[in-house]
Amino acid sequence: MPLTRRAFLRAFSAAAVLAPAAPALAGCAGTEDVPAVPFGARLPIPPLDRGTVETSGGIPVRTFRLAPQAGTHEYVPGKAAESMGYNGALLGPTLRAARGEKVRVSIENRLAEATTVHFHGMMLPAAADGGPHAMIDPGGSAAPEWTIDQPAATLWYHPHPHGSTEKQVGLGLAGLFLLDEAQDGPGASLPHEYGVDDIPLIVQDRRLDGSGKVAFDPSGNSLGTLGNSIAANGTLGAVLPATTQRVRLRILNASAGRWFKFGFADHRRFHMVASDGGLLAAPLELDAVQLSPAERAEIVVELRPGESVMLRSFAPDLGRVSPPDAFGGGRDFDVVRLDAAASLAPSSPLPAAFGALPEPVDARTATSRSFTFSGRQINGRTMDMERIDFTAAPGAPEVWFVDNVNPYQHNVHVHGVQFRLLDINGAPPPPERAGWKDTIPLLPRERNRIAFRMPRYADAEHPYMYHCHLLTHEDQGMMGQFTVAS
């Protein structure tokens, strides 16, 4: 990657660096003068927030507080950029609750603009979902509550204001929401000490201008803004000091439009243990896992004492995209470097299996629906806040055909449910997408078939959304809504 000596020295002197001999750089300059940041800053770990348990009407309620607010953040050391965060200047705390618990999230909007807080991947009543109808004005508040009723998983929360989601997420509004099961569940032997061997990793491309500020370019490309720098937990050039033999990374692609194909620079193999909605049936050995925007993967990697290894995003496989290296393909990015200590604490071996997942709903008894994704429309329609596209019965089995007819990628996310991918162009899905999912890629000219049960909560008034999670597409109306009513 070309970089002028002056730019290198400028960036180098601005940062506190644990420099390897030939420092990799996190800002990958194209034609613009993007400030490059050498690897060296310690990976920040978002604070773990278990909330406080309050009793309401004799029932314990785990209560969290989130205050979206504006601030500034230095992606490039010494260069402040406008930002947004929950309870701070960037990103938000990692919320954590267990299956069966009742939770409440008290939200206080301290931004100068309206926002919502959506709980992505959560199986909850539509009224608590935080979609585009749940706007909170500046100075306003909301307090959605529900009972956690799904397997352990890495979920996330982010704003969903119709038309400005890309901007608000891009400025920094995003956080993780971890769900746990009982102590002796099948995942109990996985690394689980938060911030030590169980590491949250929010990965986002950022388009930084020459002064280190976040820029948007929704018209520049059919995918919207594609960044030139990769932030891990908000930091370019981050290094994770590892102290254990095995490290679990909970990776979230929180980018607006970029696909990542995560692997290690030395091509070592690792195990993927969970997808969007929970554990896979068994640890899956891979050398790379591809994630479209909003997808998650939990992986466990083994380290040798004293080594350094780079988590890299390799050029993603974008199928029949045309031209082949367009739309964010053809690029490698370094994401975060893992520096193993000279001696590593032993970790439990991975279990051989976690347990079979239930069979997906039977397509023969399910309601079948088709959705064609084209341009910024689904089935020829643009999102209309006043239009409900269909109504389904609580808990009803559904099978959806989701088609992308464009020569570039989309993806699809459904609110309030976890689904299973039945097939892609009639063939079984790759094993990394065979478990619980709430978001799947839709590569060019691919027909995906998904199956799930509708949420069990009836509410004729509040809708759930389904949409492309490329945030520019979503903002431009590539979204529909349904209600669940008996």
CB of 467 to ligand C2O, least distance (A): 6
**Binding-site partner at residue 470 among ligand C2O, Cu ion, none, CB < 5 to 8 Å by type:** Cu ion
**Binding-site partner at residue 79 among ligand C2O, Cu ion, none, CB < 5 to 8 Å by type:** none
CB of 474 to ligand C2O, least distance (A): 7
Does 296 engage in binding with ligand C2O (CB under 6 A)?
A: no
CB of 355 to ligand C2O, least distance (A): 27
**Contacts with ligand C2O, 393-422, as mask; x by CB under 6 A:** --------------------x-x-------
Residues shown for the chain: 486
Residues 141-160 that bind ligand C2O (CB under 6 A): 158, 160
Footprint on this chain of Cu ion (rule: CB under 5 A): 120, 410, 415, 468, 470, 473
**Contacts with ligand C2O, 246-285, as mask; x by CB under 6 A:** ----------------------------------------
Burial classification of residue 418, based on how many CB atoms lie within 10 Å of its CB (0-12 exposed, 13-18 middle, 19 or more buried): buried
Does 465 engage in binding with ligand C2O (CB under 6 A)?
A: yes
**DSSP tally for the chain: helices H, then strands E:** 3, 34
In this chain, which stretch among 141-149, 266-274, 452-460, 464-472 interacts with ligand C2O, using CB under 6 A? 464-472
Does 79 engage in binding with ligand C2O (CB under 6 A)?
A: no
Does 467 engage in binding with ligand C2O (CB under 6 A)?
A: yes
- SS3 labels along 149-207: CCCCEEEEEECCCCCCHHHHHHHCCCEEEEEECCCCCCCCCCCCCECCCEEEEEEEEEC
CA distance 159 to 346: 40
Annotate 289-310 with b (16+ C-beta within 10 A) or e (fewer). bbbbbbbbbbbbbbbeeeebbb
**Binding-site partner at residue 158 among ligand C2O, Cu ion, none, CB < 5 to 8 Å by type:** ligand C2O
Nearer to ligand C2O, 354 or 466 (CB): 466
**64, 51 Cβ separation under 8 angstroms:** yes
CA distance 43 to 316: 24
**Binding-site partner at residue 62 among Cu ion, ligand C2O, none, CB < 5 to 8 Å by type:** none
Among 5, 10, 28, which residue's Cα sits nearest to residue 335?
Answer: 28
**Binding-site partner at residue 473 among Cu ion, ligand C2O, none, CB < 5 to 8 Å by type:** Cu ion
How big is the CA angle at 258 (ends 219 and 93), to the nearest 5 degrees?
Answer: 110
Among 122, 201, 143, which residue's Cα sits nearest to residue 416?
Answer: 122
**90, 172 Cβ separation under 8 angstroms:** yes
Helix-, strand-, coil-residue percentages of the chain, each rounded to 5:
5, 45, 50
Nearer to ligand C2O, 40 or 92 (CB): 92
In this chain, which stretch among 26-34, 194-202, 280-288, 463-471 interacts with ligand C2O, using CB under 6 A? 463-471
Token reading at 208:
């930084």
Nearer to ligand C2O, 161 or 191 (CB): 161
**Binding-site partner at residue 421 among ligand C2O, Cu ion, none, CB < 5 to 8 Å by type:** none
**Binding-site partner at residue 261 among ligand C2O, Cu ion, none, CB < 5 to 8 Å by type:** none
Burial classification of residue 267, based on how many CB atoms lie within 10 Å of its CB (0-12 exposed, 13-18 middle, 19 or more buried): exposed
CB of 464 to ligand C2O, least distance (A): 9
13 backbone dihedrals φ, ψ, rounded to 5°? -75, -20
Nearer to ligand C2O, 263 or 278 (CB): 278
CB of 169 to ligand C2O, least distance (A): 9
Nearer to ligand C2O, 415 or 420 (CB): 415
CB of 177 to Cu ion, least distance (A): 11
CB of 148 to ligand C2O, least distance (A): 18
Token reading at 108:
């206080």
Nearer to ligand C2O, 120 or 433 (CB): 120
Residues in binding contact with ligand C2O, number by CB under 6 A: 10
388 backbone dihedrals φ, ψ, rounded to 5°? -100, 120
Rg (CA), the chain: 21
Nearer to Cu ion, 197 or 295 (CB): 295
How big is the CA angle at 220 (ends 219 and 223), to the nearest 5 degrees?
Answer: 80
**Binding-site partner at residue 468 among Cu ion, ligand C2O, none, CB < 5 to 8 Å by type:** Cu ion
Using CB under 6 A, list all residues that contact ligand C2O: 118, 120, 158, 160, 294, 413, 415, 465, 467, 469
